[in-house]
A and B are shown apart, each in its own frame.
Chain A
Amino acid sequence: MENLFGVPMGGLTIGMTVTLLLFLAILAIFASRNRVLLKLGIRNIPRRRAQTVLIIIGLMLSTAIIASALALGDTVSSSIRNSALDSLGATDITIEPPQFGERVGEYLTPEQTHSVLDLVDDDPRVDGAMPQVRTELPILNPANQRASVGSSVVGVDTARMAGFDQFRTDRGEVFPISSLGRMDLLLNEDMADELKANAGDELTVVTPTGRQQFTVAAVVESKGLAGVRGNPSSRAVGVMHLSTLQEALDIQDSVNRIEISIQGGLRPSDDLSDQVAGDLQLDFINSEVADQLFMTFSDPEVLGLIEDYVAENETSLQADLRANLQDLIDQLKTGDAAARDFRSQITDSRVVATVALVLGNAGRSDLTLGATLLLAQLEVLNVSEVKTNLLEIANTVGSLFTTIFGIFGSFSIMVGLLLIFLVFVMLAASRTTEMGIARAIGTKRRHLVQSFVFEGAVYAFASSIAGVGLGLLASLALIQILARIVPDDVNFSISYGLQPRSVLLSFAAGMVITLITVSISAYRVSRLNIAVAIRGLPEEFVPNPTLTLKNRLIQLLLALIAPFYQFYLLVAKSNTRALYVGLLQLIPLVWGIVIVIAVIRLLSPYVRWGWTVSAVGVLITIFGVNQLSEAIFSTGASVIVIGLGMLISFILHKTALRDEVVSRISYSIMGALLLVFWLLPSNALDSLTGELNGNIEMFVLSGVFVTAAAVWVVMYNSEIVLWPINKSLGSIGGLRPVLKAALAYPMESRFRTGLTVAMFALIVFTLMVFAVINRAFSNTTVDNTDRITGGYDIVAGISGDLPIDDIDEAIAEAPNLDPGDFLVVGGSTGLPSEARQLGPYLGEEISELGFQPVNVSIFQVSILTTNLWELSHFDPEYGNTDAEIWAALANDPDLVVAGAGVLPSDDPFGGDFGQQFTVQGIEASDPQSIKAFDVELSSPFGAQEPVTKKVIGIADPLRFQESSLIGNTDLIADLVPRDPPLTTYRFRLAPGVDPDAVSAALETAFLDNNFDAILTADQINDQVSANQAFNLLFQGYMGLGLLVGVASLGVVSFRAVVERRQAIGMLRAIGFRASMIRTSFLVESSIIALIGIGLGLALGAVVSWNLLNDINENFEGIRFSVPWLTVAIIVAVAWIFSLVTTYFPAMQASRIYPAEALRYE
């Protein structure tokens, strides 16, 4: 995995490690200057071992969550990467004819093959080149009637094995390729397993020239040349002599790919791969086309436009692109069409796209079109860096995974930070008397902070190590679940992979965030009122003295020149401490913090009034609206509300109301307003603000704000919330006193209880949102099977090399099939192509002028007129219902429906897998009725002019997620030399017919066509199972967060036992039985946990309801429903674990003998 949240992992690791080292260096400086404080801080650690262990457990969970997210990302990345490296083996680059449809069956001519081989054989950078034919043919094992369909057959030139890995048998021995006979076949392990075949067995290969018998020479590892390419439906591969396969396919000396291995072993450098592929590509471009392009671009008008563009955008263009454009300009001025530099630039897609943009902007779309047509014909052969590309995909998917888990994990990390804070609040609480005395005898605040941070640093170090260990262990368990999610037919399997860099990053990140939290809580502790602390009374903090405005301004001035002021002190007053401080303040981050603190101090007297906070909120809100950012706008609005709450508090403090009442009123109003604001549907304020752009950060922000707001409201109105509990359980005689004690304590320590409630609420909130959304998607799949399957019962793929001429006729002739069983039979195929939208659309010009990749799907009329697929948008001019629109395609090859992928997406989780064709002027949330628009569909062969098609509808995203154009079988008749073979067939069966039996009969009847059938019901079930498994994986991961909440209850309970020892003694003295003490503790933690769980569930339900409404705008049919079973499991697990954690302290409390408890001070 190379990136996390878009930041390179290497940079992130270095940054975090440097920050940590900086932190440690600062600590070391302080420690060396005052060793007593170091000793004071550290000596506490071994004094209470059980407490130390508990603290480390509490502190390690954030690190564990970070480590497990990184390990998951690494594993996904390395699994795909290893599979790619395994199956490609030594192959780094492939050369193929330009493909227009994978089934068109284009081959390199013998001449092209020779020229490629001549070139690479003389290239010292190349280890070897393997011309080959790779196709899909069915293979049968007559001995056991097993068949392998959808499997690959490769013909290799056995004389050119140099540079490629030798075939190894499943026992690890090298198979001598020279011994491979003409009618011998090597089976890879997957195929051997599928056919249950062994060396020596006779197999039948179905070829276009007839069935042929082969002998299995050996079973070899599924690697290298015996590995799959791309993502076929089966991982089974059979290898034979190239000439044998050429003969079987009747293609004489042709091959359809040449694989090239370059120097550098299994993983050569990207640069070398780039160079070799780039050089090879230049050798296989059409010189005539290059000449014409040179002429077009060197036209003084065009050249002038490019030069102007580069000059105008000098600063905004990326350096390498600017250099390439400049090189192109130089070549156009002084070079010629044959110059490699020129050719190199015109094969660079970014350079070409920029030139097209320049021409388009200048209104020369005629030139753009001409250039586009020429460029499409430029490459004679397609050179692809197949290994580099696959490894990039591995990294992208890995990063995507970590991002998803990182985003949801951020809730757990936040909760973990709250726990760290809570642990230190508790630790400080247990030392208040000791610290109060220390302060009384002259210890300064900063000394307390330092001694606390020294102690915290040791905990942070130990907990970060333990956290990394726990996180890696947790990830091992999660990967077991992940392995279940990966479908069997995907070309990779999950194997644990972890980069040392991730371990370092999680350790450093864990330790840094722990140290920061420790420092904040240490500062809080240092502000304790000395007298109150000595008497061990409830916490009371000393407010910072308010300086005069003049002094605050001077402080700000000094902060602006902070390090230099320190150096002045050093020189003028010989203050050696100033040297250290000055050096420290020279670090920009530290200097910045000093300035920010001075600014806060300057404004602090006004901050209390609240209106200043609201004013800042207004500024942020306006900025958010200007930036069209929902996150900034919402944060600003929340700051306004917080300011308002402070203002109310400020005003009420002037009245005779008690502090408690003032806090209650102001916090309740603040919390309630925040709740209302954040729980509003996302478009509720659109009429005021216009449409703002919200992304996944909105989910995180809304989670934090609604939880904080709800906790405020609940904690300040606890008696109302607890009234039903009091009323119901309180009527049970024995429980009455227990309940009184159990409820009074948590509601008295609002800060502590609020923190713990917030932890539970945040985690359960995330679990709930995920569960509801997951269930909604699963339900949508189950409720809308026809929308997905089109109403067909069976879907089957066949080999493009073994087409079925007329399926209806073939069914009628097949002895084991009854045509009466089928209501509808129809075929289709998909072809990669390129398209662009023609503007203007509804009066708006189209800014994207270039062609972009799109998948073209052509369907037989029988499918177009019978399917039950839906459309999200259509032009009513062409029909009033979905069925009428589909039927319109059947009658007119110039009409198409576009897949939902053509609509612009703001999917935050969508990985960047390359630019696809998208349309402008229509959004998913637009009304169903749209105006049809034109697109131009190109032929990469360039032999034909692009053709114009009219898009009359957009297909349902539930079924057609990709960027595609769908039409009838004549759609591309003008673009391709011959009709592409149909490779997918759909069948709707008559009522009462058994789909299983028919599916099996179809596979038997069309075995020679490599017919691979699947029941659509099974596809739906697989999808639902995958959803459920992903939910399980997520719940497992979030379980770590729940562990944090549970741990916090444990910490609170253990502390409570210590704090309340005397109270326990007194309660026992007045007649509380041991069991009542125990129950009281369990009821107390249950109430905290259940309030948190209840809040999380309720807030999660509302937020997911809003989210689903949003999604429903783009994705009709999604409906909200509460996953009761999941809710029950969440409640049960969270509650039971909190009871278990509290049970031990509760037992401990109940066992204390009254006199012993009363003696305790």
Chain B
Amino acid sequence: MEQEPIIIADKLVKTYKSRTLSVAALRGVDLAVNRGEMVAVMGPSGSGKTTLLNCMSGLDIIDSGSVTIAGQALADLPDDALSEYRARSMGFIFQLYNLLPVLSALENVEMPLLVSGEKPAHARKLALDKLAEVGMADWADHKPSELSGGQQQRVTIARALVNTPSIVWADEPTGNLDSENANDVMDLLCRLNQVNNQTFVIVTHTQEVGDRAERIIHMRDGMIENDTDDGAG
């Protein structure tokens, strides 16, 4: 069966400019990611991995080129529609977890549901289920500062997946974790990918993480150097 691309990036160009410096982060990147695929984007520091993720997910603007997700060109969406799209169809996992420190684990997880307009009671139930799924049900009422790094990342994963997004973007999801916790998190991500058939785009510089993906894209100097499917898949 021919794979259907859910994410299509076409000639993406992104340059960061400051008063004295201009850095080309992406220099005409073409990429297509299929639905249900788990893709790892790897490369040395400054190669443009995170920028590629930000631009493809609509978190950042591009100088030229286009990003199409599930047939919808992101450039055509105004900011509010794009936000709504992220709320309903995307999930994000960050290296620094980026949980709201003032909310409990449960409240953090239910936030995307509330943004999508879910009823509070239903949102709470779904969030609790998702926390249970990542093994954090017992920590639901704890604030992020009361959790370890691995626990925080599990809550982040729960938050990213709670609204069953079609795409999950993960930027160095294990970057702040020790190897044991990193393995646990990757096991979890792989399991969820297989169970839910969700598309995962994972930025990482760790080979062990890359090896768990179906496909590895190597970047260097803002361009794709190598695109292989020699990962786990």
Q: Which A residues form the contact surface with B (CB < 8 A)?
A: 537-538, 730, 733-734, 736-737, 740-741, 744-745, 747-748, 1062-1063, 1065-1076, 1153-1156, 1158
Contacts and interface: CB of A to CB of B under 8 A. Distances in A.
A736 B117 CA distance: 8
A1158 B57 CA distance: 13
B96 interface: yes
Given A1066-B92, A1153-B61, A1158-B94, A1071 B112 contact: yes
Given A1070-B112, A1074-B80, A1155-B54, A734 B88 contact: no
Given A734-B117, A1158-B94, A740 B83 contact: no
B107 interface: yes
A1158 B98 contact: yes
Which label, helix, strand, loop or mixed, suits the secondary structure of the A interface? helix
A736 B80 CA distance: 17
Q: Taking each of B55, B87, B102, B145, which has the highest tally of chain A beta carbons within 10 Å of its own beta carbon?
A: B102
B100 A1066 contact: yes
Contact of A737 (B51, B79, B92, B115): B115
Interface in B90-148: 90-92, 94, 96, 98-103, 107, 111-112, 114-117, 120, 145
A1065 B54 contact: no
Contact of A740 (B51, B60, B114, B116): B114
A1157 to B, nearest CB: 9
A1153 B60 contact: yes
A1073 B60 contact: no
Contact of B87 (A740, A1071, A1074): A1071
Interface in B25-63: 51, 54-55, 57, 59-61
Given A744-B103, A748-B101, A1062-B98, A1069 B92 contact: yes
A776 B46 CA distance: 72
A1068 B115 contact: no
Contact of A1154 (B59, B80, B112): B59
Nearest to B123: A736
B184 to A, nearest CB: 22
A744 B92 CA distance: 22
B102 A736 contact: no
14 contacts: A736-B120, A744-B100, A744-B107, A1062-B98, A1063-B98, A1066-B92, A1066-B100, A1068-B59, A1068-B86, A1071-B86, A1071-B115, A1075-B80, A1076-B115, A1158-B54
A537 B86 CA distance: 29
Contacts of A741: 100, 103, 111
B88 A1071 contact: yes
A1065 B98 contact: yes
Main secondary structure of the interface of B (DSSP, over half): helix
Contacts of B101: 538, 748, 1063
A1071 B83 contact: yes
B12 to A, nearest CB: 13
B106 to A, nearest CB: 11
Contacts of A1071: 83-84, 86-88, 112, 115-116
A1063 B100 CA distance: 6
Given A736-B120, A740-B111, A1075-B80, A1069 B96 contact: no
B159 interface: yes
A1070 B117 contact: no
A537 B112 CA distance: 25
Contact of B86 (A1069, A1074, A1155): A1069
Contacts of B55: 1155
Nearest to A1068: B83
Given A730-B120, A740-B107, A1072 B115 contact: yes
A1066 B84 contact: no
B60 A1156 contact: yes
A1073 B88 CA distance: 13
Contacts of B112: 1070-1071
Given A538-B101, A1072-B115, 14 more contacts: A740-B114, A741-B103, A1065-B59, A1065-B98, A1066-B99, A1068-B83, A1068-B86, A1069-B90, A1070-B87, A1070-B111, A1071-B112, A1076-B115, A1155-B51, A1158-B59
B111 to A, nearest CB: 6
Contacts of B114: 736-737, 740
A970 to B, nearest CB: 82
A734 B54 CA distance: 26
Contacts of A1065: 59, 98
Contacts of A1153: 59-61
A1076 B84 CA distance: 11
Interface in B134-193: 145, 159
- Tell which of A730, A734, A744, A1075 has the most Cβ of chain B within 10 Å: A744
A525 to B, nearest CB: 21
Contacts of B79: 1073-1074
Q: Which 6 A-B pairs have the closest CB atoms?
A: A1071-B87, A1155-B60, A1155-B54, A744-B102, A748-B102, A737-B114
A1071 B90 CA distance: 9
Contacts of A1067: 100, 111
A45 to B, nearest CB: 22
Contacts of A1063: 98, 100-101
A1063 B111 CA distance: 12
Contacts of A1073: 79-80, 83-84
A1075 B145 CA distance: 28
B80 A1066 contact: no
Contacts of B111: 737, 740-741, 1067, 1070
Contacts of B57: 1069
A728 to B, nearest CB: 14
Contacts of A1069: 57, 59, 86, 90, 92, 98
Contact of A538 (B51, B90, B98, B145): B145
Nearest to A1156: B60
Interface in B204-218: none
Contact of B92 (A537, A736, A745, A1070): A1070
Given A748-B102, A1070-B86, A537 B115 contact: no
A1154 B102 contact: no
A1154 B96 CA distance: 15
A733 B103 CA distance: 19
B83 A1072 contact: yes
Contact of A537 (B80, B91, B96, B145): B145
A529 to B, nearest CB: 14
A1066 B145 CA distance: 17
B9 to A, nearest CB: 15
Nearest to B99: A1066
A1062 B111 CA distance: 16
User: Which of the listed residues B87, B99, B112, B114 has the most CB atoms from chain A within 10 Å of its own CB?
Assistant: B114
A750 to B, nearest CB: 11
B157 to A, nearest CB: 13
A730 B87 CA distance: 19
Given A1065-B98, A1073-B84, A733 B92 contact: no
A601 B102 CA distance: 35
B48 to A, nearest CB: 13
Contacts of A1154: 54, 59-60
A537 B146 CA distance: 12
Contacts of B99: 1066
B26 to A, nearest CB: 12
Interface in B53-84: 54-55, 57, 59-61, 79-80, 83-84
Contact of A1155 (B59, B80, B100, B145): B59
A747 B60 CA distance: 32
A996 B103 CA distance: 71
B108 to A, nearest CB: 9
A759 B208 CA distance: 55
Contacts of B51: 1155
Contacts of B92: 1066, 1069-1070
B102 to A, nearest CB: 4
Nearest to B58: A1154
Nearest to A1150: B79
